[in-house]
Structure 1
């Protein structure tokens, strides 16, 4: 979602700064830049996994940090600082009209994902929406894509196409067996990083997905 169909605009980093401040880490502190670099590198990963790494496996601190992050991001969404990637809704409609089932996946919690969907008026835009808790593990593990395949009753995972703005999106698709795992350039990672992760295609935007699929 964020960075692929939903504009991020730095909201993840803003929410992270708020959350990590509650753990006593502020801009200018020795560990702040290291933590922020890890957040940027792992965009697309389940947020609780990120906080577990940042806080050295301290589970209570990780849970508190993740909860603070989700609250901060939800507040930004509620303040109207959430917008679709231009053309994203039209792409989803075009795919579904063509008989292609669409699943939106995210590393956010269900509550945050639902807030985003509600803010955009996207409650029924896709056939399925998934968060890590729905699948078992978040990206870069294949669980989100495999869960979508199972729930949408797809016959062959090789018929699946994935698109995302992070290297972890690409890895998730490839590890699940998708033949088409595209990176898009509207979010966290650039073309060299996406190609290094194994992206089969790199697209300027999700708007270019239908043509890349031959639709």
Structure 2
């Protein structure tokens, strides 16, 4: 199994990628989504598993339900990112790490879950920062025969090239994800989306 990952500036693009991956036959249990929720987007009312988590201490059931991954969305908070809507194995792994993390060490939750699954650390920091700035992260564990097709689905869904995005962040003085940084508010998230509109999929 290999891990494929895509960052999206728009939640709708991330949802579309999840739906396309499921349609390709990748099981919901092998897919994860983590999306910035600075705008206070409600969890889908059709889901009975979403629970508000206190200060990143946990998350409601974050695995795909019978209707697919997106029916299992829950709410949690990640230090340095703020509130997110999330579901799947990556969210569950990060939530478990956050629940047991000491102050100042919680960044290992999301970044550690990514790097442990084979994502390069440089990319993991970009992905975490991307979610902090309003993005949506989609990750899937796929067998070798599905890697090429799964990556094509992510690219077709307006994914963000992590090398290009790291370069853009670096131009603003950024170097690594900082879990002690203040989360972005709704206005800052919109400003970020406007900045990169039309620059995804490079």
- The alignment's TM-score, normalised by the length of structure 1, stands at 0.30
Whose strand fraction is larger, Structure 1's or Structure 2's? Answer: 2
- The alignment's TM-score, normalised by the length of structure 2, stands at 0.31
